[in-house]
Structure 1
């Protein structure tokens, strides 16, 4: 009987970690989508610094590669960082 308690605790902990990973995925996507106003400003001529979005794009590329090539694949990590590549590069290019 005592063996079932650790398993139950492990299952609960695993579920909590899974929920946290998906919440973090959503917030990361929102963080990179928030580049849209800066992209609009850049296009309108009110250019921001290109350094931060370039570094974000490089960082996200590394995390996407890590999550994709890891076994098993870490889809929340990949999905959370993929928009950062796209929006980071667009923001960088429009800031030049």
Structure 2
């Protein structure tokens, strides 16, 4: 069974150390207007939930990949990124 987009995003963001997660959230709140107040005490799970809720699965994947690239983090590479993008596409179609 394919993991959900949320699970794949969570697994990728779990690889970030605390300071990197804060940097990711900084980029996120400046990306498309997630209020700073919503990110202030957000952990990885909160961050993933807010992204998918606000942007949808496919856009959350794109945003995550773009932010991680800006941070020079290559957590979503190769097979992993294909899996995440395929999962997002499946969710969008259904």
TM-score by length of 2: 0.34
Between structures 1 and 2, the one with greater helix share: 1
Bigger radius of gyration among the two: 1
